[in-house]
A and B are shown apart, each in its own frame.
Chain A
Amino acid sequence: MDSQKGDFSEILSNIFSNSEANRYIVASIIATIIMFSYTGYDLLVVRSDAVNEYTNLKEWSIVFETQNETMQAVETVQDDETRNVLFDLSEINIPDGFTIGYIDIIITSEEESGISGQCDSVAGDIIENDLTAQWNDPQNNLSGQDSSCLPIELDLTIYPNYDGETLTISAINEFQALQNWTDTGWGEGELSIDLDLDVNAPFGIDPLGSDTDEEITIDVFIVMFKPNISLIE
Chain B
Amino acid sequence: MAELESMVPVAAIVYLLLGIVSLILLNRSKNRIWIDFMVGQILGLCLFIQGLAYSSHSIILAFSDGDVDLQFFIFSRNSLFIISGFLAATIPLLFPYPILQNSSTIKYIISGILGMSLLSAVYMMMTNYRYFGITDIIFVIPFVLLISVYFRFLTEEIRNNDLTARRMSFAAGLVLIGIHGREMTWWLAQVISINDEFIGRGAIELGEFAYSYAPAWIGHNINATIGSIAILILTVGESWRASHKGMNGFLLVVLLIFAVGTISGIADYAVLDIVNSCMYSVCEDYPETYDIWYNFTTNALVYLFTPLIAMYIILNFDIIDSRSSENSWMSRIIVILMLLIVTSSMIELLQSFLPVSEMVSSAILAMVVAIFIGWEERIMLKLVEEGESISKKLISLDELNIPDMENNHLQLFSKAVGVMVVFIILLSAVYSAII
Contact = CB atoms under 8 A, between A and B. Distances in A.
Contacts of A40: 218, 221
B341 interface: no
Given A15-B152, A36-B222, A172 B190 contact: no
By Cβ-Cβ distance, the 6 closest A-B pairs, closest first, are A6-B101, A6-B102, A6-B401, A43-B196, A21-B151, A21-B155
Interface string B407-425: 0000000000000000000
Contact of A35 (B101, B191, B211): B191
A118 B144 CA distance: 94
Contacts of B218: 40, 44
A173 interface: yes
Most A Cβ at <10 Å: residue of B148, B195, B218: B148
Interface of B: 97-103, 105, 143-145, 147-149, 151-152, 154-156, 159, 190-191, 193, 195-196, 199-200, 203-204, 207-208, 211-212, 214, 217-218, 221-222, 224-226, 228-229, 232-233, 278-279, 281-283, 395, 397-403
Contacts of B402: 2
Given A24-B155, A39-B224, A173-B204, A4 B99 contact: no
B217 A8 contact: no
A32 B148 contact: no
A38 B193 contact: yes
A232 interface: no
A182 B193 CA distance: 33
A42 B155 contact: no
A82 interface: no
A21 B154 contact: yes
A100 B105 CA distance: 68
Contact of A11 (B99, B195, B279): B99
A178 B282 CA distance: 9
A39 B193 contact: yes
A96 interface: no
B196 A36 contact: no
B403 A25 contact: no
Contacts of A39: 190, 193, 195-196, 221, 224-225
Given A5-B102, A54-B203, A55-B212, A47 B156 contact: no
Contact of A174 (B98, B99, B281, B403): B281
Given A29-B147, A178-B282, 6 more contacts: A11-B101, A21-B148, A24-B155, A40-B221, A54-B279, A55-B212
Contact of A18 (B155, B199, B217): B155
Contacts of A182: 282
Contacts of A43: 195-196, 199, 217, 221
A31 B233 CA distance: 10
Most chain B CB neighbours (cut-off 10 Å) among A31, A57, A175: A175
A20 B193 CA distance: 30
B293 to A, nearest CB: 23
Contacts of B149: 15
Contacts of A21: 148, 151-152, 154-156
Contact of A8 (B99, B151, B196, B403): B99
A174 B208 CA distance: 13
Given A35-B229, A44-B218, A175 B159 contact: no
Contact of B101 (A4, A174, A178): A4
A178 B99 CA distance: 54
Contacts of B196: 39, 42-43, 46-47
A205 interface: no
A99 to B, nearest CB: 15
B131 to A, nearest CB: 14
Contacts of B212: 55
B229 A12 contact: no
